[in-house]
Structure formats: structure tokens, C-alpha cells
Structure 1
Amino acid sequence: MATVTLQGNELHTVGNLPKINSKAPEFNLVATDLSVKTLNDYKGKKLILNIFPSVDTGTCATSVRNFNKEAAQLDNTKVLCISRDLPFAQGRFCGAEGIENVEMLSDYATGAFGKEYGVEFEGGPLNGLHSRSIVVINENGDVTYTEQVAETVDEPNYAEALKAL
């Protein structure tokens, strides 16, 4: 279990982020076209998992915009923006914002991703949502970088995530 804060108030997750140099846990997430995406769909690519509570909050939306801008310049890399938002809300956001360089994926159907990656909030006002986190995975499926943002309203460290590629 990890402890982070929301405006200074403690929140806990169901586990911890995957360990550096471990194999990334498998996932089944729903894309905005309602297809199911798995880790295997990205085999041979570098991945940045931008994990957050909801695209309908300012900091979450900012992280998607920032990674969208950076992703356009990355070779053999996909940025996956993952939340419990419905795929319809994710698609609406991307359409309204002109987001085209990242993939939005939803854990709404089972919540299994949040548990496997240790980011699901347990209790508190964000119960069931994901904590703001970054996981970088190399072409071999190994975790090379993680960050669980200590204060939920803060942005992740974009530079360190990109450097880990």
C-alpha cells in the first residue's frame, strides 16, 4: 500500500507500483472505440503509462495535453493515458482538445489494471479511482521508471519520464 495526499489529506492505494526491472503486468483496457487493448498489443514499443484519476480534472487534462505534445516527437513510443473514465468521456475530451498523439484507455470495465499496477485508491473521496502515476516500459516489457505523484493535484515529472525512455 502506498500513501499519497489530496490537498494534504492522506489517501491510500491497494498496492505499490511495479518494481523497476520487473516485467510489466498484463492489462486489458478499453479504448475509445470500445476495443480491448492488452500489453501484448504494444509489443516491441516503448510505453509511457500516464495514469490518473479523471480526465475531467485540471491536472489530469494538463498531463494528457503535455504528453500529447511530447509524444509527437518520440520514436517507437506510445503514450497510454489510463483512467477509470468511460471511453466516451475520454473520446469527447480528445476530440474537443485536438488530442491525437496519445491513446486513451479506460479501466472502467473491471478495475483490474488499478489493482495489478497498485494504483487504485482504497477509501477516501477518490475510492476506486487511480492515483496519479507514471510507469515507463521498454521494448522488452520491462519497467524502467515509475513515479507515484505524492500530492494528487500536482503534475508528474514529465522530464524524468521522458529521460527514462
Structure 2
Amino acid sequence: MTTAVERQGAFQFKGPVTLVGPEIKVGDTAPDFTVVANDLSAVSLADSKGTVRIISVVPSLDTGVCDAQTRRFNEEAAKLDGVTILTVSVDLPFGQKRWCGAAGIEKVQTVSDYKDLSFGTAYGVLIKEFRLLSRAVFVVDANDKVVYAEYVPAAGEHPNYEAAIAAAQAAK
């Protein structure tokens, strides 16, 4: 068994924390993953192959910045035909479904990495100390190439929405 890469101090969450997994860079082939949809079905990167994907990663939908980030990408989705938007967290699928209903989120698909941490370890966003995901945004083109990668340095900061959206539009 191989040991996962650990990046100490790579994210600020109540102080510096360790992210587990590699740092994904523009030009990399996007790693596949298996997460859980709100109906408990499995979702993988391959399920949306052939479309541009924005993958928005948040620690928990029940926090202010994560809530705002998911709402912002939901609003942008109306202007981004042919783009699949996923929000990944380790919130349980039941909680994600409840949150989406209360927030009126219909264009972003929320998926949970609670089961295997498959996404978190593949994309280098798993916070070792808390078993949560750090804040990040990835844009993957229709051929599974990463065209945008942003690891937000601290939990309380927002990602660069405009840059992620521009990357998704350019990849179409």
C-alpha cells in the first residue's frame, strides 16, 4: 500500500492543517473519483464525460462561505449551458438534500465524499486533522483535462468565481 502525499500547512482551518493527496495542476488529467449523490447513488467523473465540469469543493454547506459559494455557482449555472457543476463536501447526502431544498439549489448537483474520501484524496483537498475537505475549485474540460485549479488558502476566503467561470466558458 502506498502512502498518500501530505501537504502540511497547505490550508488554514482553525490554524494550519495538513491536506492529504496530490496538488492537482492545470494540464493534469483529472483523477476519477466516486462520491455519493443525494439519492445515495454513486457519482463519478466519468458520469459527466463529454461536458465541461466545474467542481466546487467546500468544507460544509452549513457554513456561511460554503453556502455563498454554492449559491453563486447555482446562479452562474443558468448562464453556462453545457457545463456540469458539482459541489463536493463530506456532508451526509441527507443533509445536502435538505440544504438544497431550503436554499432553492436546483442547477448544482451536491455530492458527498463521506464514504470513501475518494475525491478528497485524489484531488488533495482532504483535511487530515478534521476529515473535512478544504475549499477549492477545479474546472475540467470535456476530455478530462484540468483547465483551472484553485486551492483557496483559508476556510473563510472565497474562491475566484470569475476566473473559474471564465475557464469553464473558454473550455466549451
> Is the TM-score greater than 0.5?
yes
Unaligned stretches of 5+ residues in structure 1: none
C-alpha deviation, 1:16, in angstroms: 3.5
Aligned to 2:13: 6
What RMSD in Å do the two structures reach over aligned CA positions?
1.1
Structure-2 separation of matches of 1:23 and 1:13:
20
Shift of 1:15: 2.9
Q: Determine the structure 2 residue equivalent to 1:133.
A: 136
Whether the 8 Å CA contact 1:34–1:87 is kept in 2: the answer is yes
* Structure 1 counterpart of 2:61: 55
**Structure 2 gap segments, 5+ residues each:** 1-6
TM normalised by structure 1 equals: 0.94
Match of 2:85 among 54, 72, 79: 79
Q: Please identify runs of 4+ aligned residues in structure 1 that moved more than 4 A.
A: none
Shift of 1:113: 1.2
Conserved 8 A contact 2:139-2:148: yes
State, as a whole percentage, how many aligned pairs show the same letter: 42
Paired residue for 1:98, among 99, 104, 115?
104
Alpha-carbon contact 2:137-2:159 (below 8 Å) kept: yes
1:144 pairs with 2:147: yes
2:22 matches 1:19: no
The CA distance in 2 between the partners of 1:15 and 1:39, in whole Å, is 17
In 2, Cα distance between equivalents of 1:15 and 1:30: 20
Distance 1:16 1:152 in 2: 19
**SS of 1:23's equivalent?**
coil
Q: Deviations over 1:40-72 (max 9, x none)?
A: 110100001000111011110110100000011
Provide the rounded CA distance (Å) in 1 between the counterparts of 2:36 and 2:148: 24
Question: Could you say which residue in structure 1 is the equivalent of 2:124?
Answer: 118
1:66-119 CA-to-partner distances (Å, cap 9, x unmatched) read: 000001110210110000000000000000111101000000111121111110
Q: TM-score, normalised by structure 2?
A: 0.90
Is the CA contact (8 Å cut-off) linking 1:53 and 1:132 kept in structure 2?
yes
Asked whether the 8 Å contact 2:59–2:66 carries over to 1, the reply is: yes
Number of equivalenced pairs: 161
